[in-house]
Amino acid sequence: MKCFWRTCFGLLLGTLAMSTALAGNHGAENQIGKSKTAKLKKKILFFSKSSGFEHSAIKRTKGEPAFAENVLRQLAATNDFEFEFAYAKDGTIFTEEKIKQFDGFFFYTTGDLTESGTDGNPPMTPEGKKAFLSAITKGKGFIGVHSSSDTFHSPGGKDHGPKRYQLDGDNADPYVKMLGTEFIRHGSQQAGHLVCVDKKFPGCQNFPEDFAPTEEWYSLKDFPADSHVILLQDTSKMHDSIYKRPNFPETWARREGKGRVFYSSMGHREDIWTNPVFQSVLVGGINWAVRNVDADVTPNITKIAPEANVMPPM
Ligand SMILES: [Zn+2]
């Protein structure tokens, strides 16, 4: 009996969460209806489950869309109808069958998503995680911002112990390998200068030389040799020991099998989400990841950031 009720309750929660996800999508579908002549939009699942720390930008209060969700709605509506989002925090959406409907996945997540964790939303199953990673390899797009790199840590890296300061290499979690990085930790919020090393990448044509917004900057590790760096974190003027390291990639693109992966470590602060420079780079990255546009993403990390994997002092 107990199991029966747990199952029913689980189904109810799942249904509610799906309705929320679909409700978020419904508006976009109406927009499609209004503009049948517009290009076919790519459908992207914005997934913001927090199994670890829950960021304010993705927190929904009283059922209202989160700050970042509203920004994405606006961006999707104002960018020539090239993409639309569904919004979910329920990890059970990751089944082989359900993920077929999406062209790409956009993560603003934390922690081990196969655990219900901080926000209590239903977790992904281990099979769901495999199906999702396999879908990327087979050609779907992935977009990650900020704490999507503080998600699925490699063995030993779940806590903030010394393992966080070691490279995992081949032992890294498959998700980390797909993303092309793993979060070490961050220092205090501060201005961080970013250098655009590929102004040909979509959305980067007018990237300013002096872009240095205040943000909670991530110190990252385990960069693979096949990354195409777009924005470089200039660490020369940063304070806090975690940034005492050579310049390292902040935004990049890489291919995972037939799939396209785009990541930016920005996105903690709400004023980053409304920053036009961030929005331009993000929209470019989204359009590239879901194949609305092409770009030359020949690996350049060994030239641009040869010391990217030099660890900061612990
Ligand atoms: Zn953060």
The model's pLDDT over 179-209, given as tens digits with 9 standing for 90+, comes to 999 999 999 999 999 999 999 999 999 999 9
- CA 191–ligand 1 middle distance (angstroms): 15
- CA 264–ligand 1 middle distance (angstroms): 12
Structure tokens at 171: 């032992």
- CA 143–ligand 1 middle distance (angstroms): 17
The model's pLDDT over 123-159, given as tens digits with 9 standing for 90+, comes to 999 999 999 999 999 999 999 999 999 999 998 888 8
- CA 252–ligand 1 middle distance (angstroms): 19
Q: Is pLDDT of 26 > 80?
A: no
Q: What is the pLDDT of residue 23?
A: 35
- CA 266–ligand 1 middle distance (angstroms): 8
DSSP string computed for 170-238: GGS-HHHHHHT-EEEEE-S-EE-EEEES-TTSTT-TT--TT---EE-PEEEE---TT-EEEEEEE-TT-
- CA 157–ligand 1 middle distance (angstroms): 17
All residues at 6 or more sequence positions from 74 whose CB lies less than 8 Å from its CB, including other chains: none
- CA 147–ligand 1 middle distance (angstroms): 6
Average pLDDT, the chain: 89
- CA 218–ligand 1 middle distance (angstroms): 8
Strand partners, 34: none
Strands 248-256 and 228-234: antiparallel
Q: Is pLDDT of 39 > 80?
A: no
- CA 293–ligand 1 middle distance (angstroms): 29
In this prediction, residues 257-268 reach a mean pLDDT of 98
- CA 107–ligand 1 middle distance (angstroms): 13
Strands 248-256 and 259-264: antiparallel
- CA 35–ligand 1 middle distance (angstroms): 37
The model's pLDDT over 288-306, given as tens digits with 9 standing for 90+, comes to 999 999 999 999 999 999 9
- Tell me the domains of the chain and their CATH numbers: 2-31+43-304 (3.40.50.880)
Q: Is pLDDT of 116 > 50?
A: yes
The span from the CA of 55 to the CA of 145, in Å, is 12
- CA 12–ligand 1 middle distance (angstroms): 31
- CA 281–ligand 1 middle distance (angstroms): 19
At residue 95 the predicted structure's pLDDT band, cuts being 50, 70 and 90, is: very high
What are the C-alpha distances in Å from 45 to residues 23, 106, 158, 161, 278? 13, 6, 25, 33, 20
